[in-house]
Structure 1
Amino acid sequence: MSDPQPALRWYFDFISPFSYLQWRKLRAIARERSIALVPVAFGAILAAHGNKGPAEIPGKREFTYRHVLWQARREGVELRFPPAHPFNPLAALRLCVAAGNTPEAVDAIFDWIWTQGQAGDSIEALNPVVAALGVEIGAIGSDQTKAALRANTESALLAGVFGVPTLSIGNELFWGNDAHDFALDALQHPDWLEDPEMQRLKQLPVGVQRRA
């Protein structure tokens, strides 16, 4: 009997253009096998780790935007930034949860914000997507939806997620759109992660630590 396929979970936030780029690649995989799509609040994950997002650091912000646009063009993906960034993604995240976290919902919301370059920072801005998905407005702001999003974010933190997008293959985490090929390689050849040097990295000593 062959070993069962490892569970796949994908943690993402609509504020992240790198999440958009990886989703364009994951859609094909999602048609072939089950992937749990897990929208999370990236800001809460950053806060839990005491980190800043790349868009919060002067200099790094412009570089990140140019880098993601370059990646999109290299991958042949249409990408247009929304009117302002960073923006508050809670409305988009809650819409996704209220719509059942389906591939269709994820696709529609990413398309609105990152393909069409539309605002996604409020229910009003997202109204065309809400209507297309057939979601009741009241469900988006319900206590149940808010609690589900918090639970998603907490589960991501418990799993060790520190950034988005992150693809979880079993217990292994692969962070970032640029790690997509690494993740696919690990998915197809799981024994590769048992390589002695890979295992040694888990116990590699810290040589020096910066003082706060």
Structure 2
Amino acid sequence: MKEITCYLDFVSPYAWLAFERLPQALEGLSYRLSYRPVLLGALLNAHGNPGPAGIVPKRDWTYRHVSWLGHSLGVGLDMPARHPFPPLPLLRLALECSDDGLVNRFVAGSILRHVWQGGADALDPARLDALRALLAEQLRPDEAAPERAKQLLRANTELAAQRGVFGVPMFEVDGHLFWGLDSLPMLRAYLDGDGWFAQHWQRCASVPQGLPG
């Protein structure tokens, strides 16, 4: 059985789409998947990447594209009332449900649906209270849980950077990283044992840089 880690930030619409499509994409395979929340903004900053929201025409295209993908895939995606938004409250809430930096599919899905279904404000206090109530049975009951969640998020994000994660969603298996919704067929092929990976995976990444340093 393969172990897959999904690095995600709830602010990403592609994380929501990939989350919903993943069971179908990997249907019939034997795997165990864990979700590791990370702070996407910190990863983007580490690579000097403004992200789609930092480039106005790209922001417009991204929102149109993800809305279309939600429609065409039958997943459903409603842009929240404000985007991007600071995802820290959601990331920390998720990690109040964790002892080791990983969260289960129920926690990840509950928070993703909170953001990407209904078109409401993801950080509305009343909605956050309702989300916390939904996750009540998953939340760690000790008083140290909120502070531990902050530490886990920091550790998760640092680990992700060390592993080469530059965006979300990112799937890691056997040290191989697969980025984004459109990488799901590639991830499937790897898990199926496609011989392309042994022949081309390293070679593709060894092409010399053609731009001046």
Q: TM-score range by the shorter chain?
A: 0.7 to 0.9
- Answering whether residue 65 of structure 2 is matched by residue 67 of structure 1, we say yes
On the 8 A contact 1:39/1:149 being kept in 2, the answer is yes
Equivalent position of 1:7 in the other structure: 3
Residue 211 of structure 2 aligns to a residue whose secondary structure is: coil
Equivalent position of 2:105 in the other structure: 103
Give the AA of the match of 1:14: F
Query: Given the alignment, which residue of 194, 209, 212 partners 2:212?
Result: 209
CA apart distance, 1:27: 4.5
Residues 138/69 of structure 1: CA separation in 2 closer, same or farther (3 Å cut): farther
Separation (CA, whole Å) in 2 of partners of 1:140 and 1:45: 26
Residue 165 of structure 2 aligns to a residue whose secondary structure is: coil
Separation (CA, whole Å) in 2 of partners of 1:57 and 1:152: 27
On the 8 A contact 2:97/2:140 being kept in 1, the answer is no
CA apart distance, 1:126: 1.3
On the 8 A contact 2:10/2:112 being kept in 1, the answer is yes
- Superposed CA RMSD: 2.4
On the 8 A contact 1:82/1:113 being kept in 2, the answer is yes
- Answering whether residue 17 of structure 2 is matched by residue 21 of structure 1, we say yes
Sequence identity of aligned pairs in percent?
35
* Bigger shift: residues 146-155 or 118-127: 118-127
Equivalent position of 1:143 in the other structure: 147
Equivalent position of 1:156 in the other structure: 160
Residues 138/16 of structure 1: CA separation in 2 closer, same or farther (3 Å cut): farther
Residue 59 of structure 1 aligns to a residue whose secondary structure is: helix
Cα deviations by residue, 1:141-182 (Å, 9 ceiling, x for unpaired) = 722110001111111111100011101111000111111111
Matches within 5 A, 1:74-89: 74-89=72-87
Give the AA of the match of 2:56: P
Matches within 5 A, 1:103-122: 103-121=105-123
Higher relative contact order, structure no. (Cα contacts within 8 Å, ≥ 6 residues apart)? 2
Residue 126 of structure 1 aligns to a residue whose secondary structure is: helix
Cα deviations by residue, 1:108-163 (Å, 9 ceiling, x for unpaired) = 11111102223223655411110011147986972211000111111111110001
Equivalent position of 1:49 in the other structure: 47
On the 8 A contact 2:3/2:31 being kept in 1, the answer is no
Residues 166/91 of structure 1: CA separation in 2 closer, same or farther (3 Å cut): same
Segments of 5+ residues of structure 2 without an aligned counterpart are none
On the 8 A contact 1:94/1:146 being kept in 2, the answer is yes
CA apart distance, 1:198: 3.8
On the 8 A contact 2:38/2:153 being kept in 1, the answer is yes
Residues 122/88 of structure 1: CA separation in 2 closer, same or farther (3 Å cut): farther
